[in-house]
Amino acid sequence: MKWPTLTRREGLRQALRAGLYGAAVQLWPSQAQDMASGQLLSVAKMIEPLTQGARVLEQDVKWVAPVLADNGTLVPVTVQVQSPMTPQDHVTHVYLLSQRNPVTRMAVFHLGPWNGRAEVSTRLRLAGTQQVVALARLSNGEFRYGQMEIIVTESACVDAS
């Protein structure tokens, strides 16, 4: 039996189109849940509860992450915020926010001038293809943010065991 070959480009295209469907397929093995998934938050909705009217600029925050994640359960990411990290001017918090996950606030990092560099890395769980936003709070009360789309492909052979 010959399976049809799929080029990487076509695969990406299909994965993009099937984004929402993909989320549904991923949910299949985990039946007893009430995730409000499939709902995609806007960037504004993601950051407003945290910034609450303070000055926000989309700059100085860079994501280093795969464009195409092998598996949604473990996506290695790094967030770099441009900042001198002096007592007068430093990053106090970095929020990692998800557009689609049931829990929007994936992690909050607390930093200070003692860090010397506003850069953190971790491994995320992403419930499907989505935008991720890194929001940095500065010592002067302002915010900076950066966003990135990460495509999450799903295992074709869903065995859930």
Partner 1 sequence: MTMAFARIQWPERVLAGDVVKVRLLVQHPMDTGYLQDLLGKLVPRNVIQSLTCTWGQQEVFRVEPSSGISANPLFEFFVRADQTSEMHVEWTDDRGVKGSLRQMLPVLPKSSP
Partner 2 sequence: MSAAGCVRTVIKLSWPVFMVLAWWGVSGYADAHTPAPPARSLPLSQLKSGLHFAGKDVQALQADEFANPAQLWLSQGSQAWTQPSAANGKSCASCHGAVATSMKGVATRYPAIDAASGRLFNLEDRINQCTTRHQQAPAFTPESDALLGLSLLVTQASKGMPLRVDISGAARGHWQAGATLFSQRQGQMNLSCAQCHDQNFGQRLYTDPLSQGQPNGYPVYRLEWQKPGSLERRLRSCYAGIRAEIPPWGALEMRQLALYLMWRGEGLPIEVPAVRK
Contacts to partner 2 by CB under 8 A: 1-3, 5-6, 11-12, 14-15, 66, 68-71, 73-76, 153-161
Report the site for partner 1 in 24-53 (rule: CB under 8 A): 29-33, 35
Closest CA to 106 of 118, 94, 116, 114: 94
Residue 138 in contact with partner 1, rule: CB under 8 A? no
81 binds partner 1 (CB under 8 A): no
Nearer to partner 2, 22 or 136 (CB): 22
Q: Which is nearer to partner 1, 11 or 49 (CB)?
A: 49
Measured distance CA(81)–CA(97) in Å, rounded: 15
Residue 87: CB minimum distance to partner 2, A = 32
Q: Is there a contact between 83 and 138 (Cβ–Cβ < 8 Å)?
A: yes
| For partner 2, the closer CB: 59 or 71 | 71
Q: Residue 136 in contact with residue 61, Cβ under 8 Å? A: yes
Closest CA to 116 of 80, 149, 140, 146: 80
- Work out how close the CB of 77 gets to partner 1 at its nearest, in angstroms, rounded to a whole number: 10
Rounded distance, CA 134 to CA 74, Å?
Answer: 17
**Cβ contact 91:111 at 8 Å:** yes
| Interacting residues with partner 1 (CB under 8 A) | 29-33, 35, 73-76, 78, 96, 98, 101-103, 105-112, 114-117, 119-126, 161
